Amino acid sequence: MIKKITAIFSLIFLFVSSSIFAETIVLKSGKTIEGKMLEKTDKYARVDIDGVPVTYYLEEIVSIENISSNESLPSGNQTTATSQDFSREFTNDAQVLKIPISPMIELDLKTKAEIYEIRKQAVLRYAQLAPKEYRPSDEIFGQIEDGKYWWGMVGQSFFGPGEKSVVGYSEESRFLINPFLLVGLADVGAYAIDDKSLSPQANYPVPINLVWNNSEAKAMVTYELTNYWKVAKRYHYQSADTHAFDLIAYNARDLGFNYLYVVPEKSKNVSVGHSAPVLIRQYIHCGGSCGHSGGCNNMSPEQKELEIVVDQVPATLYIKLWKSNPSNGEQSADVVFIVEMI
């Protein structure tokens, strides 16, 4: 797992001719892919495999060999510039923390005690942001069952419910090991792709930058949605047309922030499912939604009031979070969490 502070810089696109140069991509899963490079950026590599363009995200890749002119693929921990509207609040401040997004990991068959330890260590990495004497909340994580599988990211993106639903790194780990991503984005469903011309891959909204202004109790995450939508459209995802996402906020709940409200006048190009502060009820348990024998550990329940629709990018969610039930959405927040989408 790469542990280094991310750098904020402008997105640079690099192109390699697909008609001349062939690359070998080694994935963390151990699989080796050979194809012609169509495009490589600081977030993904797009490769032509037998005439089909396939995208692999940097967090899935160990190495890429034979890139033309000895070019190297940009590091997956590099990120695009933050929003012009809010970036000034997260620069040149001694209290600002740039927190790298940890790549997904495998949680299958681990015990609840092991999951608790993984979570605790992820939180204590930035103990200055955590509650004193932090321990994972039993209300959120107490229903995790030992030795169970978890929805896999490839399973959720391609195979859908069934025995292959667990393929790929555990999708819940993108939140569980990134605890200071207080509110994240997830697709509203899982997809079973029956187009034989398409290959299995993990496709999901990717967080690329997380910064905290600790002195002002404010944080911001930047999500890349443009490429996600392109792939989603090719794979016939419902979200490619609806642009709907779920807000995943059990990280906020675990750190003591139980109520959430999206401030409409400070948000941009989004529609939300609530008009008043919402009690976050999300937790992890073992359920049958994955369709895998014996069930899987996954998040529940579905909270329609935490569903959003992104009209277009760039878009902004300006979220207030509170520990106790506020009298209304105008009450000062305990923490402000901004979600930028590009």
pLDDT band at 312 (very low <50, low <70, confident <90, very high): very high
**pLDDT tens per residue, range 41-92:** 877 787 776 555 677 777 677 667 653 333 333 333 333 334 445 655 666 5
Calculate what percentage of the chain has a pLDDT beyond 90.
70
Domains and CATH numbers, the chain: 1-78 (2.30.30), 81-341 (no CATH)
Backbone angles phi, psi at 324, to 5 degrees: -115, 160
Can you tell me the mean pLDDT for 4-33? 45
**pLDDT tens per residue, range 86-99:** 655 666 565 789 99
- On the question of a cis peptide bond just before residue 314, with omega within 30 degrees of 0, the verdict is yes
Tokens of 310: 């992104």
What is the DSSP-derived secondary structure letter of residue 159? B
CB atoms closer than 10 angstroms to residue 239: 21
How high is the pLDDT of residue 92? 55
Cα gap 209→6, rounded to integer Å = 7
Q: How far is CA 166 from CA 186, 189, 294, in A?
A: 17, 15, 12
Maximum mean pLDDT: which of 3-7, 10-14, 104-108: 104-108
CA angle 245, 315, 60 (to 5 degrees): 60
For residue 21, pLDDT beyond 50? no
The CA R_g of the chain, rounded to the nearest whole Å, is 20
**pLDDT tens per residue, range 162-207:** 999 999 999 999 999 999 999 999 999 999 999 999 999 999 999 9
Can you tell me the mean pLDDT for 313-321? 97
Query: Across all residues in the chain, what is the average pLDDT?
Result: 85
Cα gap 220→205, rounded to integer Å = 16
How high is the pLDDT of residue 322? 98
How high is the pLDDT of residue 152? 98
